[in-house]
Amino acid sequence: MEPYPAWTFLVSFLAMTSSCDGGKVLVFPVDGSHWLNMKIIVEALHSQGHQITVLRSSSSWYISEFSPYYTSITIIQEQSQPIESQNFMSSFLKRSMEINKNDGSLWAFFELYWNFFNLLVQNQQVVANFTSSIFENTTLIGDLNKTGYDLFLTDPTFPGGVLLAHYLQLPLVYNVRWLFSGEAHLAVAPSPVSYIPICFSHNSDKMDFFQRIRNMIHYIMVLYRDYYVSRPPYQALCDRYFGNNVNVMSLTQKADLWLMRVDFTFEFPRPTMPNVIYVGGFQSKPSKPLSSEFEEFVQSSGEHGVIVMTLGTLLSDLGHELTESFASAFASLPQKVVWRHVGKRPATLGNNTMLVEWMPQNDLLGHPKTKVFVTHGGTNGLYEAIYHGVPVLGIPLIFDQHDNVVHLKARGVAEMLDVTKLNADSLTSALKNILDPEKPYKQNMLELSQLHHDQPMKPLDNAVFWMEYVMRHKGAAHLRTESYNLPWYAYHCLDVIAVLVAFVVLLISIFIWVSCKCLFTCVMKTKKSKRE
């Protein structure tokens, strides 16, 4: 008797344990803060035995040329991207705060975004030029082709990597939350504007009629940004290398997998696609013990516990008036406060407040004494708060931060203050509210944290599993829908509806015509018989 081959048992086992040893991964990252989370994925891939090559620009701010985790290929770039520079962000924040403070006109708001869109066009053009220079570098392209990469990993916020991956014909995976057009889901999955809050609209998934109007206006801005701001800089490249009817969006939608940097403890529930994998919070990790300086300060808070406060690394100095409001609000509380503050020491600072230029944020949030996290609402910080179960006071400043805090507020785990309107009283009152043991913020956050942790796999392991999946199967075309291949009128069945309606109208017309004819004949016959 022939022995049974064990492959049917083995495959399942291999799927859990095999890790495409020696897979070669080409990474085309986005610079700046986006690199911080890409680096975590690069390190995780490296720890699984993959060889990683990172394409970096010579003008990169964050991406090191040398690393134990990857080899880099540096491409000479003379222009650098203006966005995400301290200057741009500071002036954008200043202007938007001014507008908000004075209940600015619709015109001022549009002017701000007009300038922002103009800057985006410049950025996309810089990336398009950079990508073009790679395409033209035949030696580099030859080398990349020769290496035989198993996977192309990129962040499509600036879609240079998307174009290169298609040029090299490699399986493509995104580490993504944003596209050049807006939130990434809008490009990959059906997104009814009726309950999917559009970024910058400050809506939750429960909207009244006026909020839905606001949402629709923001959606129209997304469409404008997509078609008129982000696509044009890449069109010459698409025309030259990919032929007719191809644009940067149609190439973007061809990715094998989208590793989405959210999960549904943060994101509002929404339609999704089989090739979207949720890895929100993959950056989070258990806290480590604090240094003795921090530990002693934190322990000295006794039963009252500690408030941890930071408004991010890029926009820390909000001006004298606000800084004093923070200081005096903190001074009025029985809690201790660790405050990441760069700038002049506030005059009203209390003894309970420790000013630091850098803090071990994750370790502080994981400390059992920490009661509230005061934050600008960057995703990394919010996920650390969810991970460690610490309720949030959000003071959003710029970009998606307002929307991020809205997500947590809707779950009853955060309160939000408008930075243009807050003062010591409103800050004290908001903090007391969250600290009140009668209020459900802490309990809600613990439950949310449990949901976040209760997954079949940890988010980072999940990300690695699916990247290796794409390597094992040389893509994941069976998870990508046909929707992207349809023109818009066919997608919405407008042609079919037109034909069916025409057919029904035709039937009705024939019916009416025949009825009239019969009626006419009858009437004529009656008249005739009457005459006779």
Q: Which of residues 391-450 bind a second copy (CB under 8 A)?
A: 411, 447, 449-450
Instruction: Decide whether 81 or 379 has the Cβ nearer to a second copy.
Output: 379
CB of 438 to a second copy, least distance (A): 22
CB of 273 to a second copy, least distance (A): 6
Contact map string, positions 239 to 278, toward a second copy, x by CB under 8 A? -------------------------xx--xxxxxxxx---
Q: Which of 466, 404, 392 is nearest to 431 (CA)?
A: 392
8-state DSSP, 32 = T
Angle CA 400–406–412, to nearest 5: 150
CB of 143 to a second copy, least distance (A): 30
Which residues inside 479-498 make contact with a second copy, applying CB under 8 A? Answer: 479-483, 486, 490-493, 495-497
Give the tokens for residue 396: 């959003």
8-state DSSP, 235 = H
Q: Are 249 and 181 in contact (CB under 8 A)?
A: yes
Instruction: Decide whether 145 or 483 has the Cβ nearer to a second copy.
Output: 483
Q: Does 300 bind a second copy (CB under 8 A)?
A: no
Q: Which stretch binds a second copy (CB under 8 A): 12-20, 51-59, 233-241, 505-513?
A: 12-20
CB of 477 to a second copy, least distance (A): 9
Instruction: Decide whether 68 or 286 has the Cβ nearer to a second copy.
Output: 286
Which residues inside 88-147 make contact with a second copy, applying CB under 8 A? Answer: none
Contact map string, positions 349 to 378, toward a second copy, x by CB under 8 A? -----------------xxxx---------
Q: Which stretch binds a second copy (CB under 8 A): 7-15, 54-62, 113-121, 331-339?
A: 7-15
Determine phi and psi for 47, rounding to 5 degrees: -65, -20
Given 388, 402, 407, 442, the residue binding a second copy (CB under 8 A)? 388
CB of 208 to a second copy, least distance (A): 10
Give the tokens for residue 475: 């893509």
Q: Does 15 bind a second copy (CB under 8 A)?
A: yes
Q: Are 387 and 281 in contact (CB under 8 A)?
A: yes
Q: Are 118 and 59 in contact (CB under 8 A)?
A: no
Helix (H, G, I), strand (E, B) or coil at 453: helix
- Please report the beta strands in 81-227, taking only residues with DSSP state E, as ranges in sequence order: 151-154, 172-176
Torsion sign across C-alpha atoms 192, 197, 201, 204: positive
Strand order in the sheet with 172-176: 71-75, 51-57, 24-28, 151-154, 172-176, 257-260, 276-278
CA distance 380 to 401: 11
CB of 55 to a second copy, least distance (A): 29
Q: Which of 263, 251, 241, 105 is nearest to 181 (CA)?
A: 251
Q: Does 224 bind a second copy (CB under 8 A)?
A: no
CA distance 152 to 34: 17
Q: Does 202 bind a second copy (CB under 8 A)?
A: no
CB of 404 to a second copy, least distance (A): 16
Cβ of 84: how many Cβ atoms within 10 Å? 17
What stretches of 332-396 show up as alpha helix (H) in DSSP? 361-365, 379-388
Given 223, 500, 501, 512, the residue binding a second copy (CB under 8 A)? 500
CA distance 4 to 40: 43
Instruction: Decide whether 162 or 196 has the Cβ nearer to a second copy.
Output: 196
Q: Does 223 bind a second copy (CB under 8 A)?
A: no
Instruction: Decide whether 373 or 469 has the Cβ nearer to a second copy.
Output: 469
Given 76, 342, 347, 457, the residue binding a second copy (CB under 8 A)? 457
Instruction: Decide whether 477 or 516 has the Cβ nearer to a second copy.
Output: 477
Instruction: Decide whether 269 or 437 has the Cβ nearer to a second copy.
Output: 269
Q: Which stretch binds a second copy (CB under 8 A): 62-70, 103-111, 215-223, 335-343?
A: 215-223
CA distance 317 to 323: 8
